Structures are given as structure tokens and as C-alpha cells.
Amino acid sequence: MNEFQSLFNRSQAVTPGGVHSPVRAFKGLEQAPIFFKSGEGAYLNDQNDKKYLDLCSSFGPLILGHRDPDVQRSIEEIVDKAWSFGAPEAYSLELAEWITNEIPWLDKIRFVNSGTEAVMTALRLAKGFTGKNKILKFDGCYHGHVDSMLVASGSGLAGTATASSAGISAAVASETLVAKLDDEKAVEEIFKREGSDIAAVIIEPLPANYGLLPQRNEFLQFLRKITKDNDALLIFDEVISGFRVAMGGMAEVSDVVPDLVTYGKIIGGGFPVGAFAGRDEVMDFLAPNGPVYQAGTLSGNPICMVAGLNTLKKIKNNNIIENTNKACEDFAAKLNDGFEKHGIPMQCIQMASLFFMTGKTTDPIRTIDQLPKDHGEHFKALYPKFLSRGLYVAPAAFEVGFFSAAIDSELSEKACQNILDACSEYFNEKR
């Protein structure tokens, strides 16, 4: 038995499924998950000291790569001074001021410990602020494991939802409405029927949890208008896109200003931080000012705040976003050229520093039902070929790839070659 299988067996004995988050379990792949020991720059090192180029970046937070030396220094300094106070401190203040200065439409921000927590509270705040009960979400968007967001389209009336996880009551699911992405008509119909009770529409403005599904800007503008017209809030879930596609996330890129935004991942630089933010009028509905309750023992934890602040400062001072976006664009262009040249029926969809490889299609993919049906089958066969060539991508078919600033042009070129090599081998085997 190899070392990973033996570690996985031990893990399964003490942890459900052997993991602390399901996607890590390599489910559907024919091997035990890799256990990692360390990370440095663009690389992950496994327990056996095998090196992998990291194209997953911890699912997004590590835009600077692993253990950026400047951020590491700031963490070492704060560890000597401040762990947790459960009382006001200036570290979270500095991060809050920095973000609200950078993103002009944000008056106030509150820090929590994860993206899920940020979404959970943003939804409660929207309901408290509007006095309404329902939330409209989109098929294919993920918003963390909040009960009301773990739903899929129901089979009854258009827009209705059913729970997609056990443990979620029909009553909770009935407070969520689900529409298809890219479909103005469906949203209009739902608003016509239920508009008086819709507190908010929540969307990943760049959906990146079920493949990468860039939306038409007009669709985001339409959501802005219909929410405004119906006294509902628009929530942009920028847990992935925030501080990645631009400092001001998709709100900046699309020029559509939501009422509330949720952040996670990059905001903590690899440490557990989530946040939600918006204008005074809405944010002041929160306790202790307002009637919507929210709290957290470790919220605004000094170590996480310092890691987040120094990550964001480094991103800004070194043009990391622009450079990483360009590097990922070049990577995708080279891959697409290679797919074409070698007759490989695949494409690399890219936006900013996110990418997703899937089967070739003639039209842009904007909804989950436009994704190629054989995507999962190809992914399963390709995954071990990527690993054996020293490439680590997320171990699940519909996860996107995350480029980091630590991947220089030489590494990018090599990754491209390795991917083309793996794909050529696979499609030759299939022929």
C-alpha cells in the first residue's frame, strides 16, 4: 500500500471520509488523495518530497503563491505580539480602512472567518433590511454551505427549489428561489410572481464553481435594475473574484455596484478570513447598531488581519492583478493554440487569473447545461496524467484553475507543454 493510501486509511478512521472538506477526497478518481507537507512559491511538496506546480492555489487564496516572503515576515512579527483578544484592536481597523479606501462604494465592512459565514450573514442582513423573506440564486453558483444556498431547481413551479443536501428542511428550501444563469426572462417571471417577498438576488458575478461561466455584462446590469425596481438588494458573492479579477472585483470590472458584497479567500492571504461589506444604510442594520444579529469569537483575528492586509498591499504595490491576469491569458492562449495545432478537441476558457479546460464548443458557455456532457469522463482520465507530469489541479471535474503570481513565464510554458502532452496522449489512446 502506498504512503498516501495508508495516511488516507488512518484519516478515514478519525474523520468522515478522511477529509475536512469533501472535494479533497479525490472522490471519483482512482487513487487516494495526495497528502502535502509544504508549499513554496509556485510549488507544493507532497509527503514524499515530490514537487507539483500548483494550479489550484488552495482554491484561490494564494494569488501570491505559497508563503510569500513579505507576508511571511509580517506574520512572524505579529505572532510575537498578538494572537486573539476578543476585544477591539487596530489590526482589523487597518484592513477595514485599507479596503474601504480602495473600493469607493464600500462604506463599511465586517470581518468573519470564512466565505460561508460572510454569505450567511449577508443574506440575513438583506432579509432584515428589506423585511422580506426570499432569496433568488442561480443554478451553478456556489455560495458556501449555508443551508438556504444548498438547493437546486425544484421540479414544480419555475424558480422553486429543493434541498440538495440532507438536513435542510423543505421550509428552508422554500425560502430560496433558483433561476438559470443568463436568463433574463426567468428572473422576470420569478419577480412577477414573488417580487414582493424577494429580499435579495445573490450571484457570483463571475461564476467559478461549476466550470467558469463568464456572464454577459448586460445580465449583471439587468439584475441591478430589477432588484432596484423591486426594492430587493443585489448581493455579489466575490469570494473568488474579489481582489483577483480586479482590486474591486467584478463590481469594478462590470461597473455594476451591488448593495452588498461578500469576500473570502484572498482577503486573508491564506488564513481564515471572510467579510461582507456595503453602504452605511445597509451595514448599520447590523448589531450592535441595528437589529440584525451577528458575532464571532475569532472575527478580526490579528494574525489573519495582518496576513490579509500585507497580501493586499503587496498585490497593489506590485501590480499583481494585472500581471497575473496577463500571464493567465497568455497561458490560455498558448493552450488553445496547442489544442488546435494537435487536433485536441478541447478549449481553455479564461477570465482574469482563472481558467477552465473542457471540451471544445462552438458557442460560449454561460450556463451549466451548456457544459460538454463528457467533461467528467475526460477529466477523470486526464487527472492522473497531470499528476504524473507534476501538475496539481483541483481534484474535481468542475473546479476552475487558479493562476498565481509565482508562476513565471518559464513555468507557465512548461505547464502548457505538459498539459498538451497529457491531452495528446489521452486522445491518442481513445482513437
Smallest distance from the beta carbon of 268 to ligand PLP, in angstroms?
Answer: 9
Of residues 263 and 383, the one with the C-beta less far from ligand PLP: 263
Nearer to ligand PLP, 116 or 324 (CB): 116
Q: Which of 43, 52, 91, 142 is catalytic?
A: 142
Cβ-based nearer residue to ligand PLP, 21 or 101: 21
**Residue 69, CB-side half-sphere exposure with 13 Å CA sphere:** 1
Residue 134 or 137 having the CB closest to ligand PLP: 137
Rounded-to-integer distance, Cα 402 and Cα 63, Å:
8
Q: Write down the least CB distance from residue 240 to ligand PLP, Å.
A: 5
CA–CA distance, 344 with 96 (Å, rounded to integer): 47
Shortest approach of ligand PLP to residue 241 CB, angstroms? 8
50 belongs to the catalytic site: no
Catalytic residue among 237, 259, 314, 385: 237
Task: Establish whether 43 is a catalytic residue.
Answer: no
- Rounded to a whole number of angstroms, the minimum distance from the CB of residue 119 to ligand PLP is 5
List residues bridging with 346 in a β-sheet: 359
List the grid coordinates of 17: 471520509
The residue among 235 and 420 lying less far from ligand PLP, judged by its C-beta, is: 235
Which residues pair with residue 176 across a beta bridge?
Answer: 135
Rounded to whole angstroms, how far apart are CA atoms 411 and 237?
31
Determine whether 229 is an active site residue: no
Instruction: Give me Rg for the CA atoms of the chain.
Output: 22
SS3 labels along the chain: CCHHHHHHHHHHHHCHHHCCCHHHHCCCCCCCCCCEEEEEECEEEECCCCEEEECCHHHCCCCCCECCHHHHHHHHHHHCCCCCCCCCCHHHHHHHHHHHHHCCCCCEEEEECCHHHHHHHHHHHHHHHHCCCEEEEECCCCCCCCHHHCEEECCCCCCCEEECCCCCCHHHHCCEEEECCCCHHHHHHHHHHHHHHEEEEEECCCCCCCCCCCCCHHHHHHHHHHHHHCCCEEEEECCCCECCCECCHHHHHHCCCCCEEEECHHHHCCCCCEEEEECHHHHCCECCCCCECCCCCCCCCHHHHHHHHHHHHHHHHCCHHHHHHHHHHHHHHHHHHHHHHCCCCEEEEEECCEEEEEECCCCCCCCHHHCCCCHHHHHHHHHHHHHHCCEECCCCCCCCEECCCCCCHHHHHHHHHHHHHHHHHHHHHHC
Q: How far apart are CA 272 and CA 265, in angstroms?
A: 8
Q: Which of 132, 265, 314, 385 is catalytic?
A: 265
Question: Least CB distance from residue 149 to ligand PLP, whole Å?
Answer: 8
In the complex, the smallest distance separating the C-beta of residue 126 from ligand PLP, rounded to whole angstroms, is 15
- Give the nearest residue (CB) to ligand PLP: 115
CB of 191 to ligand PLP, least distance (A): 23
Which residue lies nearer to ligand PLP by CB, 34 or 122?
122
Binding site for ligand PLP (CB under 6 A): 59, 114-116, 119, 142-144, 204, 209, 237, 239-240, 264, 274
Nearest distance, CB of residue 192 and ligand PLP, angstroms: 28
Q: Which is nearer to ligand PLP, 118 or 423 (CB)?
A: 118
Given the complex with ligand PLP, which of 175 and 237 has the nearer CB atom?
237
- Residues with catalytic roles: 142, 237, 265
